[in-house]
């Protein structure tokens, strides 16, 4: 497999205010994100040569790309939508990067946008998946809770220990989110409140689950060799990996439910491209898919941040806290931003981009001198994972 | 000799105390309990349960007829027997027919099966009967009615009870009826329907068959008759010269209620469960007349394999905690709609995938032996293409691998959906909803069995699929 390390750079990013945006439609959210990105890159819409859109639930007949063209008046250029569950934003970014690296375009946009709060109900809906029969009553919490039940069983955690372990992830992310102006939620929560919260899908309680929000985030990409003509601190793409699992994991004989091939393979590919041997030591900051607190825990293990079965030790020691060895979800993650599905991958990338530039929107959240950052989304029942690794310097080689 | 070769039964796990119904309305209680089908059950799903129980120990490929009797078919136009035959994985060439509308439909199907086998049109006919009738809220019938199913196979080999004869009385009478656009059963004035309906026709049918077969009441070991209440059948038995204490079988009214079309067959199954070789059983059904049949129990009954039957179903129950839940299970109270479905069913996709959806078939790769559900054309393990055999899982048990009590997926009357992953002996995994359980008691490692249920209404048709449940007493 080839590499695109240091071939593409991000020269501008934008992120809308996340939350229950009764005031804004999908188009309004996209405008917020896109115009911040234009300004950040010092360009205008006329400079965009192609656009990739990450959107899971397109509002009208799956026409996500058309909506963006209509709203942003991006006319006469290709606009391509990606719908790959929660990874749609990341895959839009990666597809845009590949097109630039192919030499087809100099300046392109990747934008993720999702308007969830016009559906009239608070959740993502029942019956998510591919089959109206086999997955008739599948819900997101009901699917990810299956991981928690099995993880606690496999590693001998009592329900109390298990809930406290994943609860600490929720506490951490809420603490970080309280310092994140664009987040949906800014409340600091105690572990006691987290473990005693109402159950959504046992064993997951309210604070183990991310909220449903509206939001958009946008990136402007160019060739790495052109990047400095736009700005002095571009962020380089070091590597990426996408892995989709073959069969829905739940039907796979022998599947453990505590570790996912898609997570392992997507991170492995990204590490290989980025030349990362020891992710725990080499990555300075990560935004990972904390749709549910148990998801963040298994990601620690499948990404090599922690050993399998040992994430609890790192959680207990504060390794993933803002001032820990590897800060994870410094902006509060999905837990505080909520999860407007197709927007999340780019929102996470926005945080990494800002952190690597030393420009976190509140200084108390800025991590000291990070060089390498990772963003990641994990989607489906779950089934697909996308990882991107960024750096603020090109390799000297 | 043609006769019964096997039997099975099904009673839903839920029971409702009649005192609870009575208290809700501030009226008198008829005492005892009634059975209540879960909100995912109907006459077809219950018939599948009884049919599956009845097929225990039999080769389903040798069943060449399936009759279904009910007064409450899920479709007004569309065959239910064909759906049941498919779910029970019977061969495509099976004779199918629905018997409907009268409470005598169960015994009509039974007689029809005997005639079919005698005529040589089929060798082994599975007769299923199930009912789930709606009575007006607060009426006596609301307390009397119950939900349940029975099944019997009729054939020539290994007959456990031969049919000695049958006798039918037709009586045109509007006593218990439901117009084509009614939800609830109407009943006429009680003295009229008891005396000119039940008593008159049952007396004629029972005395008629005794005369036809040259038998006296004392020749009958067991008199098996449904009853509209706790007393009328005793009065009838005495009037005909039977000894109620020695000969009259329990009507199951106190424990489950009157299960409509299925009831006479359920009583027959309950009787067969405790019969001995040489017993003579006189059964009768009532509805727009009456029908009486005499069976002689043979030595073969001692060889019948253990099954769930009526006896085990009676012992396995969960009491409903409110009358409102019963109303909502039956659609009388409308639950708050849950979140809308994201995926929409299609009649053509449902038809195309029926071997997995209805027959519960998975695929076993002929190259590497890996099994998976639902059927996969390409083996995920070795990627062999279209090289698999289909295997049916419905009669096997599995072990819970992981689960979740999902509070988002349910309805307001049944708010917790137990999302379950369970594993079969061959490693195949199922992702199904656990039903008929106390969600708080679900554990990793517990054993579950399959149960066929109505999962939801979508695209204008009834969507059926399998769920799992904790092993009921007696297993499958």
- Is it true that B3-329 and B347-470 share their CATH fold? no
CB contact under 8 A, B429 and A129: no
A129 inside 8 A of chain B by CB? yes
Q: How far apart are CA A97 and CA A105, in angstroms?
A: 10
Query: β-strand B3-10 against B148-155: which pairing, if any?
Result: antiparallel
Listed range (A261-275, B344-358, B386-400) with the worst mean pLDDT? B344-358
The domain limits of chain B are: 3-329, 347-470
Range B347-470 has CATH code 2.60.40 = no
User: Angle, to 10 degrees, between the axis of helix A140-154 and the axis of helix A159-177?
Assistant: 130
Residues of A in contact with B418 (CB under 8 A): none
CB contact under 8 A, B408 and A257: no
If one compares A270 and A75, the residue with the highest pLDDT of the two is A270
Which of B408, B429, B433 minimises the CB distance to A250?
A: B429
Q: Average pLDDT in the A68-91 region? A: 92
Q: How far is CA B185 from the centre of its chain?
A: 20
CB contact under 8 A, A137 and B344: no
**Residue pLDDT, tens place only, A272-286:** 999 999 999 999 999
Q: What is the Cα gyration radius of chain A?
A: 19
Whether the per-residue pLDDT at B148 is higher than 50: the answer is yes
- Average pLDDT over chain A, rounded to whole? 94
Domains and CATH numbers, chain A: 8-120+211-391 (3.40.47.10)
- State residue B342's pLDDT score: 65
Percent of chain B residues topping a pLDDT of 70: 98
Catalytic residue among A174, A184, A339, A376: A339
Q: How far apart are CA B398 and CA A250, in angstroms?
A: 14
User: Angle, to 10 degrees, between the axis of helix A344-357 and the axis of helix A88-101?
Assistant: 60
- State residue B375's pLDDT score: 94
Q: Average pLDDT in the B283-302 region? A: 98
A123 inside 8 A of chain B by CB? yes
Q: A135, B343 in Cβ contact below 8 A?
A: yes
Q: Average pLDDT in the A114-133 region? A: 77
Residues of B in contact with A250 (CB under 8 A): 421, 429, 431
Q: Beta partners for B280? A: B296
- State residue B145's pLDDT score: 98
Residue B476 pLDDT class (50, 70, 90 cuts): very low
Residue B16 pLDDT class (50, 70, 90 cuts): very high
- The secondary structure element, H or E, covering residue A32 is helix A26-41
| Chain A / chain B CB contacts < 8 angstroms | 143
Whether the per-residue pLDDT at B459 is higher than 90: the answer is no
Count CB neighbours of B340 within 10 A. 12
Q: Average pLDDT in the A201-216 region? A: 95
User: Three-state DSSP class for B92?
Assistant: coil
CB contact under 8 A, B341 and A200: no
Which of B350, B409, B431 minimises the CB distance to A250?
A: B431
Residues of B in contact with A254 (CB under 8 A): 427
* H helix runs in A106-258, sequence order: 140-154, 159-177, 191-195
Q: How far apart are CA A174 and CA A195, in angstroms?
A: 14
CB contact under 8 A, A201 and B406: yes
Which of B338, B404, B410 minimises the CB distance to A145?
A: B404
Q: B10, B53 in Cβ contact below 8 A?
A: yes
Which of A121, A149, A247 minimises the CB distance to B339?
A: A121
Q: Is residue A336 annotated as a catalytic residue, yes or no? A: no
- State residue B251's pLDDT score: 97
Q: B161, B301 in Cβ contact below 8 A?
A: yes
Angle at A171 between CA A170 and CA A176, to 5 degrees: 95
Omega before B374 within 30 of 0, i.e. cis: yes
A317 inside 8 A of chain B by CB? no
If one compares B88 and B475, the residue with the highest pLDDT of the two is B88
Whether the per-residue pLDDT at B31 is higher than 70: the answer is yes
For B334, phi and psi rounded to 5 degrees?
Answer: -90, 120
Q: Average pLDDT in the B123-138 region? A: 98
Q: How far apart are CA B16 and CA A135, in angstroms?
A: 31
A147 inside 8 A of chain B by CB? yes
Q: Average pLDDT in the A127-140 region? A: 80
Q: Is residue A210 annotated as a catalytic residue, yes or no? A: no
Query: β-strand B388-392 against B361-365: which pairing, if any?
Result: antiparallel
Residues of A in contact with B431 (CB under 8 A): 134-135, 248, 250-251
Catalytic residue among A15, A51, A86, A336: A86
Q: Average pLDDT in the A169-196 region? A: 98
**Residue pLDDT, tens place only, A306-331:** 999 999 999 999 999 999 999 999 99
Q: At a CB cut-off of 8 Å and minimum separation 6, what does A316 contact? A: A165, A168
Please, is B432 exposed, middle or buried when counting C-beta atoms within 10 Å of its C-beta (0-12, 13-18, 19+)? buried
Nearest CA in chain A to B425: A253
**Residue pLDDT, tens place only, B237-287:** 999 999 999 999 999 999 999 999 999 999 999 999 999 999 999 999 999
Q: How far apart are CA B195 and CA B193, in angstroms?
A: 6
Which among B268, B162, B257 is positioned nearest to B224, based on CA atoms? B268
Q: How far apart are CA B311 and CA B51, in angstroms?
A: 16
Q: How far is A394 from chain B (nearest CA, A)?
A: 40
User: Three-state DSSP class for A105?
Assistant: coil
**Residue pLDDT, tens place only, B46-96:** 999 999 999 999 999 999 999 999 999 999 999 999 999 999 999 999 999
A154 inside 8 A of chain B by CB? no
Residues of B in contact with A246 (CB under 8 A): 380
- State residue A133's pLDDT score: 86
- State residue B338's pLDDT score: 67
CB contact under 8 A, B341 and A132: yes
Q: B407, B391 in Cβ contact below 8 A?
A: no
- Average pLDDT over chain B, rounded to whole? 95
What is the second-level CATH architecture of the domain B3-329?
3-Layer(aba) Sandwich (3.40)
- State residue B237's pLDDT score: 98
Whether the per-residue pLDDT at B475 is higher than 60: the answer is no
Listed range (A122-136, B65-79, B202-216) with the worst mean pLDDT? A122-136
Which of A132, A146, A200 minimises the CB distance to B403?
A: A146
Q: Average pLDDT in the B118-123 region? A: 97
Half-sphere exposure for A27 (CA within 13 Å, toward CB): 11
Q: At a CB cut-off of 8 Å and minimum separation 6, what does B436 contact? A: B12, B13, B14, B38, B318, B451, B469, B470, B472
CB contact under 8 A, A255 and B455: no
- State residue B474's pLDDT score: 53
- Dmax of chain B from CA atoms? 73
Q: How far is A175 from chain B (nearest CA, A)?
A: 27
ipTM (interface predicted TM): 0.91
**Residue pLDDT, tens place only, B327-342:** 999 999 988 776 666 6
pTM higher than the cut 0.80: yes
Which of A126, A148, A248 minimises the CB distance to B408?
A: A126
Q: How far apart are CA A132 and CA B357, in angstroms?
A: 11
A35 inside 8 A of chain B by CB? no
Q: How far apart are CA A376 and CA A387, in angstroms?
A: 4
- State residue A58's pLDDT score: 65
């Amino acid at each position: 497999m080839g590499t695109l390390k240091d071939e593409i750079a991000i020269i501008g990013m934008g992120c809308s205010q996340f939350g229950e945006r009764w005031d804004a439609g999908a188009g309004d959210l996209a405008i917020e994100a896109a115009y911040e990105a234009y300004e950040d890159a010092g360009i205008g819409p006329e400079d965009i040569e192609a656009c990739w859109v990450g959107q899971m639930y397109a509002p009208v007949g799956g026409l996500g790309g058309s909506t963006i063209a209509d709203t942003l008046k991006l006319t006469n250029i290709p606009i391509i939508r990606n719908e790959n569950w929660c990874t749609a934003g990341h895959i839009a970014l990666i597809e845009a990067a590949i097109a630039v690296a192919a030499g087809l375009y100099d300046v392109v946009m990747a934008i993720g946008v999702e308007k969830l709060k016009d559906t009239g109900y608070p959740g993502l809906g029942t019956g998510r998946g591919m089959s109206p029969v086999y997955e008739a009553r599948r819900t997101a919490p009901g699917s990810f809770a299956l991981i928690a039940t099995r993880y606690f069983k496999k590693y001998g955690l009592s329900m109390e220990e298990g809930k406290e372990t994943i609860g600490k992830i929720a506490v951490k992310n809420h603490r970080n989110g309280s310092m994140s102006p664009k987040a949906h939620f800014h409340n600091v929560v105690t572990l006691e409140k987290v473990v005693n919260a109402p159950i959504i899908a046992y064993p997951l309680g309210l604070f183990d689950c991310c909220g449903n929000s509206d939001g958009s985030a946008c990136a402007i990409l160019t060739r790495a060799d052109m990047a400095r003509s736009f700005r002095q601190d571009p962020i380089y793409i070091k590597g990426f990996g996408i892995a989709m699992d073959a069969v829905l994991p739940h039907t796979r004989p022998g599947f453990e439910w505590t570790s996912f091939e898609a997570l392992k393979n997507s991170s492995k590919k990204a590490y290989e491209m980025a030349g990362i041997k020891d992710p725990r030591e080499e990555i300075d900051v990560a935004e990972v898919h904390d749709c549910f607190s148990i998801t963040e825990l298994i990601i620690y293990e499948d990404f090599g941040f922690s050993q399998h079965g040992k994430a609890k030790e790192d959680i207990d020691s504060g390794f993933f806290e803002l001032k820990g060895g590897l800060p994870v979800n410094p902006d509060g993650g999905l837990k505080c931003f909520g999860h407007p599905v197709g927007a999340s991958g780019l929102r996470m990338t926005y945080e990494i981009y800002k952190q690597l530039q030393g420009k976190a929107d509140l200084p108390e959240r800025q991590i000291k001198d990070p060089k390498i950052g990772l963003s990641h989304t994990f989607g489906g029942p779950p089934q697909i994972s996308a990882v991107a690794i960024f750096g603020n310097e090109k390799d000297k080689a | 000799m043609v006769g019964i070769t096997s039997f099975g039964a099904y009673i839903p796990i839920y029971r409702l105390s009649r005192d609870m119904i009575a208290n809700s309305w501030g009226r008198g209680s008829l005492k005892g309990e009634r059975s209540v089908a879960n909100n995912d059950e109907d006459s077809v799903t219950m018939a599948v349960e009884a049919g599956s129980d009845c097929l225990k120990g039999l080769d389903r490929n040798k069943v060449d007829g399936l009759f279904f009797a009910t007064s409450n078919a899920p479709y007004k136009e569309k065959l239910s027997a064909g759906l049941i035959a498919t779910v029970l994985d019977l061969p495509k060439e099976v004779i199918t027919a629905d018997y409907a509308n009268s409470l005598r439909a169960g015994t009509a199907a039974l007689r029809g099966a005997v005639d079919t086998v005698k005529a040589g049109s089929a060798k082994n006919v599975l007769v299923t009967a199930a009912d789930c009738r709606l009575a007006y809220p607060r009426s006596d019938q609301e307390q009397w009615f119950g939900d349940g199913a029975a099944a019997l196979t009729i054939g020539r080999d290994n007959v456990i009870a031969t049919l000695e004869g049958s006798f039918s009385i037709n009586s045109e009478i509007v006593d218990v009826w439901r117009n084509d656009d009614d939800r609830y059963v109407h009943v006429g004035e009680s003295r009229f329907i008891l005396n000119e309906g039940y008593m008159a026709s049952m007396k004629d049918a029972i005395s008629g068959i005794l005369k036809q077969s040259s038998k006296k009441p004392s020749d009958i070991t067991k008199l098996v008759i449904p009853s509209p209440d706790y007393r009328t059948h005793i009065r009838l038995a005495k009037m005909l010269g039977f000894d109620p204490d020695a000969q009259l079988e329990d009507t199951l009214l106190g424990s489950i209620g009157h299960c409509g079309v299925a009831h006479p067959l359920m009583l027959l199954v309950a009787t067969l469960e405790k019969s001995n070789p040489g017993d003579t059983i006189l059964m009768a059904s009532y509805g727009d007349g009456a029908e009486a049949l005499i069976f002689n129990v043979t030595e073969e009954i001692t060889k019948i394999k253990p099954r769930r039957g009526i006896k085990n179903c009676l012992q396995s129950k969960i009491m409903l905690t409110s009358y409102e839940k019963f109303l909502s299970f039956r659609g009388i109270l409308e639950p708050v709609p849950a979140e809308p479905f994201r995926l929409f069913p299609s009649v053509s996709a449902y038809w195309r995938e029926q071997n997995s959806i209805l027959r519960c078939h998975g695929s076993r790769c002929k190259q590497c032996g890996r099994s998976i559900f639902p059927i996969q054309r390409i083996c995920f393990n070795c990627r062999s293409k279209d090289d698999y055999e289909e295997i049916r899982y419905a009669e096997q048990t599995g072990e819970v691998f992981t689960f979740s009590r999902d509070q988002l997926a349910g309805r307001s009357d049944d708010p917790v959906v137990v999302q379950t992953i369970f594993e079969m002996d061959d490693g195949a995994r199922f992702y199904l909803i656990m039903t008929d359980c106390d969600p708080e008691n679900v554990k990793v490692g517990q054993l579950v069995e399959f149960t066929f249920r109505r999962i939801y209404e979508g695209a204008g048709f009834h969507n059926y699929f399998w769920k799992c449940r904790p092993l009921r007493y007696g297993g499958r």
